[in-house]
Chains A and B, each alone.
Chain A
Amino acid sequence: MREITYWQALNEALQEEMDRDPNVFLIGEDIGVYGGAYGVTRGLLEKYGPDRVMDTPISESAITGAAIGAAMMGKRPVAEIMYVDFMGQAMDQLCNQAAKIRYMFGGLFKVPMVIRTEGGAGRTLGAHHSQSLEHWFTGVPGLKVVMPSTPADAKGLLKASIRDDNPVVFIEHKMLYKEKGPVPDGEHIVPLGVADIKREGRDVSVITYSRTVLYALQAAEELRQEGIEIEVVDVRTLIPLDIQTIVKSVVKTNHVVIAHEACKTGGFGGEIGMQIIENAFDYLDAPIKRVGAIDVPIPKSPVLEQYVIPTKENIIQAVKEVLA
């Protein structure tokens, strides 16, 4: 299979969906000539013109609101919010309007829109450009939350998100854009709400998503040397959550580590852990272990940044602890 990068996969998904449906358009800051802060929309202005690749003022709230209004009228906007850290500026529009319009208006309107944004640490950008904030959105009924880890998932999940009739928060990871991986040719769609076993194993289920999947896979290689086989479950979509696949893995391994880059306190791992307890407590041979960022804003210093974010070593340690 051909290999392309995460950003190229996203770019392909946007092109294919724009070719397929004239109602799809892009709106956001510096997505035109500049091609997006991380280059995901490069070349699209030239191909589709300024009416479908709309550069905006720096107005996250109005970008989100404009996407909502257009979606209510039958368009399928894909809005880009440059950093998930900037979502604070758009939270009312996203959480009070986009998420609630269908429900509070009795199902009279659909709001088919995607907010593409990216998060995560790794570029020493400091506290306002490095956070993992998915748990801001998972507690808001009416939003779907998607976090792909591989180029194939990035493409397939973005296409599914654009075709979904609901608001989808699609969170990319800034350290994944240059990662390469196999992506099927032609129509490739990954349905929302289906987790993926990225590696099978019998001893411990490592439930994870986004960039941390890569660390979990590296941990798996090292642990194999010691005779420990971990199963890496990539959640892929936080809302809707595929709890069945997670439980199936837990029933098999009887040991659970949940790992994500968001801070541990209040992070989505707590929700996953609780759902495992509700659904599969009797299958657990040891307490669930969570691996998350230290509860601080992301510091600038590369040394401190690396220390805050969970990596391969933290996962290995947690796996050994649940097996101890």
Chain B
Amino acid sequence: MDLTKEEARKLLKQMYEIRFFEDKIMELLAQNVIDGGSHLYAGEEAVAVGSCAAIEPEDWIASTHRGHGHAIAKGGKINELMAEIFGKATGCCKGKGGSLHLADPSTRNLGATGIVGANIPVAVGAALALKKDKSRNVVLCFFGDGAINQGVFHESMNMAAIWKLPVVFICENNLYGMSGAVSRVTTTNDLYTRSCAYGIPGEAVDGMDVLAVRDSVRRAVERARNGEGPTLIECKTYRYYGHSRSDPRVYRTREEEKEWQAKDPILRFRGKVISDGILTESECDGIQAEAKQEIEDAVRFAMNSPWPKPEEVTQDLFA
């Protein structure tokens, strides 16, 4: 298997970071320590982490309303991401963005959008700029199953295909757009088949398997770097929490949730690296504890950070 000890540590660590980050956000929301909306990524860790493991630091991503995991997997500073969700001045966007708008050009994250599908043409434009610069870099564009029924999905896929742009479309199919089951809003459960409409390759991958995601995205990135254009990858995954904190999850059963939790991407990867002799049980425990501590530190950092000053409110509207 193509996995070094160093990479195994990194993948496991990032997945733990995302899980603990999201569990912590849920806890803080429940305690009313933070407010506002937060769409949590727990359960989907393998998608962001596997995808970002397939690219280089100089490559870009475009993120979504469920974007905490993307930002962490792309190397965002956890303290700054947490502070941003609190709305503090030390947040990555100075407290003006929040959970739905995490962005960070230093880690080449083009940012998250609160409008479903709206990041797709922006990713296409970024890829267009890369192509114009004859760059070898690519853009990974994340979106959910809900986005594929937006008109702009079609416009963007078509445009990227005709111009053979270096972008990889990564559809996180977690089975529900808010409450709308994929099977109810689309005539197929295999969303990757939409790719045939644009004459580009499409494939489905087990989104609970971080290495399967990594390998699939790697192949697509290779195509993109070679000037062969975009690919649509559908990652079949599941969000453990509801759409948002107020979601009572009446549209799905507790049995279904248990079935997916049995495929947990972290436990699965952890079991595999231990049985393959890449990491020991105690090394994994150490990674887990480190990740947990980072999240605790980030909460402390955010709590102790200052609020933005009122005079900052009109700053950064125009360049």
Contacts and interface: CB of A to CB of B under 8 A. Distances in A.
B9 interface: no
Q: Name the residue in B91, B113, B132, B156 with the highest tally of chain A Cβ atoms < 10 Å from its Cβ.
A: B132
A66 B121 contact: yes
Given A65-B121, A65-B122, A109 B159 contact: no
B155 A72 contact: no
Nearest to A113: B125
B159 A57 contact: yes
Contacts of A73: 125-126, 129-130
Contact of B111 (A65, A109, A112, A141): A109
A93 B125 CA distance: 12
A229 B254 CA distance: 79
A59 interface: yes
A51 B126 contact: no
Interface string B110-126: 11011100101111111
Q: Name the residue in B121, B127, B130, B316 with the highest tally of chain A Cβ atoms < 10 Å from its Cβ.
A: B121
Interface string A89-133: 000110011000111111111111000000000000000000000
B105 A109 contact: yes
Interface in B264-319: 315-319
B135 to A, nearest CB: 9
Contacts, number: 140
B201 interface: no
A5 interface: no
B271 to A, nearest CB: 39
A69 interface: yes
B243 interface: no
B319 A102 contact: yes
- The range of chain A's interface size is 35 or more
A68 B62 CA distance: 13
A129 B111 CA distance: 35
B152 interface: yes
Given A25-B132, A105-B111, A64 B101 contact: no
A112 B125 CA distance: 13
B319 A66 contact: no
A104 to B, nearest CB: 5
24 contacts: A57-B159, A61-B152, A61-B155, A65-B118, A66-B122, A70-B126, A70-B128, A75-B128, A93-B121, A96-B113, A96-B115, A97-B122, A101-B111, A102-B316, A102-B318, A103-B317, A105-B103, A105-B111, A106-B92, A107-B316, A108-B105, A112-B319, A141-B317, A165-B319
Interface of B: 62, 91-97, 101, 103-105, 110-111, 113-115, 118, 120-130, 132, 151-152, 155-156, 158-159, 162, 315-319
